Amino acid sequence: MTVTVERDDNVKIIALDGQLDVATSDKTREDVLALLESKPTVINMSKVTYVSSSGLRSLLMIAKSAKSKGVQVIYAGTCSEVLDVFEMTGFIKMLKCVPTMADALKELGE
Amino acid sequence: MLKDVAFPAVREKLPEMLDLLSNEVDPHILQDKWRNRLRVCFEEILVNICDYSGSDKLYISCELINNNTFRFEFSDDGMPYNPLEEAPEVDVDAGIDERRIGGLGIFLYTTIMTKMEYNYSNGRNHLIALKEFSCEEVD
């Protein structure tokens, strides 16, 4: 899994690329948490091809941290297989997920 | 069909185990959604054995029965432990603050599989998972 910052001005866009599984989820969580600031953040999920329960745990910890800091986080472009897992576990109701990056930026008034 | 294929019970072998199961199962399953769901289950079950069983080895069996039902069996030589008894409640409607960090893995595999069973026999833990598909979902 690679974590990169695609944009960092009034909005931060963090792109994830790879599988969010037992081998990658802890490091991914640490990397994303280190990048979270107070500004609105979009997590580009379009290249995340798989999420396991350990990946869900990391996403939940990111969501809890963001909420405690008052950071708005939107998840953009999540693929259907990952959305399926989000739906089974209720993450779809807990995380703000939108189909595309354009949708995410529109939500943020961009 | 896989019959008691043995692996060292370590996380480093997880990709090999998952590949073995995928190669056995994926050709029969027509939807990516179900291939992905099964992989989620396999990863959770196998990681738990590697991390907590105390066993040096684990064993994987898999067979397709009645053309539409997969039977998976995961066994290990560790101390008797029934993960199905430990399944915590997961509130899928809970908000971020109320959500507990743990319990998602077992919730996923008990939700995805049609039936889960556990027994301890011949010095091994046996976790058995049955997944029945509709005719449209398997080939």
Residues of B in contact with A21 (CB under 8 A): 43
Instruction: Provide the edge-to-edge strand list for the sheet that holds A41-51.
Output: A2-8, A12-20, A41-51, A73-76, A96-98
* Residue B103 falls inside a structural domain: yes
* Residue B86 falls inside a structural domain: yes
Count Cβ atoms below 10 Å from residue B26 Cβ, excluding itself: 13
Domain CATH code at residue B124:
3.30.565.10
CB contact under 8 A, B96 and A52: no
Check residue B134 and give its pLDDT. 82
* Residue B137 falls inside a structural domain: no
Domain of residue B108 covers 2-132
Lowest mean pLDDT among A10-14, B85-89, B94-98: B85-89
List pLDDT tens digits, range A83-96. Answer: 999 999 999 999 99
pTM of the predicted structure, to 2 decimals: 0.93
Domain of residue A26 covers 2-107
Count Cβ atoms below 10 Å from residue A15 Cβ, excluding itself: 20
* Residue B67 falls inside a structural domain: yes
C-alpha to C-alpha distance for B29 and B139, rounded to whole angstroms? 6
Check residue B101 and give its pLDDT. 87
Dihedral of alpha carbons B98, B103, B105, B107, sign? negative
* Residue B139 falls inside a structural domain: no
* Residue B38 falls inside a structural domain: yes
Q: Cα separations (Å) of A100 from A25, A43, A77, B4, B43?
A: 23, 11, 5, 45, 29
Check residue B86 and give its pLDDT. 76
Q: Which of A82, A97, A65, A101 is nearest to A1 (CA)?
A: A82
* Residue B34 falls inside a structural domain: yes
Number of domains in chain B: 1
- Tell the residue number behind the tokens 């595309």, with chain if given: A100
Q: Please, which residues 3-42 of chain B have a Cβ atom closer than 8 Å to chain A?
A: 11, 14, 32-33, 36-37, 39-40
Number of domains in chain A: 1
- What's the mean per-residue pLDDT of chain A? 96
Domain CATH code at residue A69:
3.30.750.24
The alpha carbon of residue A41 and the mean position of all alpha carbons in its chain are separated, in whole angstroms, by 9
* Residue B60 falls inside a structural domain: yes
Check residue A78 and give its pLDDT. 98
Mutation to test the B interface, candidates A48, A53, A86, most B Cβ within 10 Å: A53
Nearest to B96 among A57, A63, A81 (CB): A63
ipTM for this model: 0.90
Report residue B66's pLDDT band, with 50, 70 and 90 as the boundaries. Answer: confident
- A96 forms beta bridges with A74
